[in-house]
Amino acid sequence: MQARGHDSHHLQAVAAAFHAPDTIESITPLGSGNVNDTYLVRAGGLPTVLQRINTQVFRQPQLVMQNLITLGTHVRARLHQPLPALEGRRWELPEVITTRHGNAPLYACSQGGFWRTISFIAEARSVDVIEGPEQAHELGFGLGMFHLLISDLPTEQLADTLEGFHITPLYLEHYRQALVRSELERCERTDHCIAFIRNREAFASVLENARARGELKLRPIHGDPKINNVMLDGTSGQAVGLVDLDTVKPGLIHYDIGDCLRSCCNRAGEDSTDLAAVNFDAGLAAEILEGYFSVANSFLSDADITYIVDAARLISFELGLRFFSDYLAGSTYFKASYPEHNLNRALVQFRLTESIEAQEAELRALVQRLRQQAVVA
């Protein structure tokens, strides 16, 4: 899908639902999200984030906001109690800013679309491609801290805002339908994707089977903790919070761990067109997991540990499958900047999957070693 542009008059009118019109100083596009439309609004000297929720994806935006509020209330209460793992660091969570009239968390625009405003985490930045091992450690710490803060939030309190999200066997079914329907001409690259997927059909159920056997349990998760959703302090580089909380809902923490690993350990980035440069950097994975375990070790079971490498492999494969299916269906889900964008993105994720497969034994040994270290510490 093409990036949806909103003209400045329209944006001004939407922002005025949340801020007094004469206080609005500027409205500029923010970030590189593939689903929602996001803007930075400066009003009364304060930066805030204005977003149009993509209702093709999130069919019930009210539930998304309800989850955001439930999460915020829970995490803020936890942050008021002593939390040794934070070691005096700052930790922030985007706050919902309601409409001026009616005090509502969402603004339904007369031209269609649901908009919301949340606070902006100040003096922080995010990166699309990892910059080094220390940063990897922080990215892992950030995810661990997020999981720790929500580990005691009962899943019944969170709505399922995106059914089937990260259930890989369901993406496989969608893919099969898209393949049958697609009128796109096949080429060497599409044939490669088709064969790649066919060879991994059984593997697609690895986490859902573990869940069905009771080895893995549903917990509250972030759902989309990719590298640029972790905010890093502008000066110290420490992780200070996770953003993009629309997919916070019950799930397997492995979806999150897998997504964090796949997006951080690929130094070439998700949009690379140089496939030869794509690989899974095990050194960065070690840093991420060390940072993650330093906070999360206490609530990870041995079964959780067993499936970490599978999770990295699966979520890379799954995202490749999602990109490729969307390419076949005419790129209606992920915003694309050029016709083959989602095909290229799929190839990157499949290359990453192969790289994880090639290092599987070493990665399993690494996870066990880091777990032992964390238990002793």
Which residue ranges make up the site for ligand GN1 (CB under 6 A)? 33-35, 57, 224, 226, 244, 247, 270, 319
Ranked by CB distance to Mg ion, the top (closest) residue is: 224
Per-residue DSSP letter, 231: E
Closest residue to ligand GN1, judged by C-beta, is 35
Residue 34 contact partner, candidates ligand GN1, Mg ion, none, CB within 5 to 8 A by sort of partner: ligand GN1
What is the rounded CA–CA span in Å between residue 155 and residue 153? 6
* Residues recorded for the chain: 377
> How many other CB atoms sit within 10 Å of the CB of residue 31?
17
Q: Which is nearer to Mg ion, 224 or 281 (CB)?
A: 224
For helices 168-181 and 308-328, the axis angle rounded to 10 degrees is 20
Nearer to Mg ion, 224 or 310 (CB): 224
270 makes contact with Mg ion (CB under 5 A): no
# of chain residues touching Mg ion (CB under 5 A)? 2
| CB-based contacts of 220, cutoff 8 Å, min separation 6 | 71, 150, 151, 153, 155, 158, 248, 249, 250, 251
Buried b (16+ CB within 10 A) or exposed e, 324-346: bbbbbbbbebbbbeeebbbbbbb
Give least dist CB 293 to ligand GN1, A: 23
259 binds Mg ion (CB under 5 A): no
Binding partner at 226 among Mg ion, ligand GN1, none, C-beta below 5 to 8 Å by kind = ligand GN1
- DSSP code of 176? H
Minimum distance from residue 125 beta carbon to ligand GN1 (Å): 16
User: Cβ of residue 185: shortest distance to ligand GN1, in angstroms?
Assistant: 26
Residue 370 CB, nearest approach to ligand GN1 (Å): 24
- How does DSSP classify residue 98? -
Among Mg ion, ligand GN1, none, partner that 241 touches (CB below 5 to 8 angstroms by kind): none
Residue (248 or 289) nearer to ligand GN1, CB: 248
For Mg ion, the closer CB: 281 or 318 = 318
Closest to ligand GN1 by CB, 291 vs 320, is 320
CB of 249 to Mg ion, least distance (A): 12
What is each CA distance from 138 to 56, 89, 195, 241, 290, in whole angstroms?
A: 33, 12, 37, 11, 9
User: Least distance (Å) from ligand GN1 to the CB of residue 162?
Assistant: 6
- At 37 the three-state DSSP class reads strand
Among 224, 281, 304, 326, binds Mg ion (CB under 5 A): 224
User: In 3D, which of 55, 325, 319 has the Cα closest to residue 166?
Assistant: 319
Choice between 49 and 366, CB closer to Mg ion: 49
Collect all residues with Cβ–Cβ distance below 8 Å to 126 and sequence separation of at least 6: 31, 227, 228, 229, 230, 231, 232, 243
Give just the sign of the alpha carbon dihedral 138, 144, 145, 147: positive
Report the residue number, 224 or 310, with the smaller CB distance to ligand GN1.
224
Q: How far is the CB of 339 from ligand GN1 (least distance, A)?
A: 18
Stretch that binds Mg ion, among 75-83, 108-116, 149-157, 220-228 (CB under 5 A): 220-228
Query: 330 with 237: CB under 8 angstroms?
Result: no
CB of 57 to ligand GN1, least distance (A): 5
Residues from 235 through 254 that contact Mg ion (CB under 5 A): 244
* Cα–Cα distance for residue pair 148/298, rounded to 1 Å: 9
* Comparison of 35 and 278: residue with beta carbon closer to ligand GN1: 35
The contact set with Mg ion (CB under 5 A) reads: 224, 244
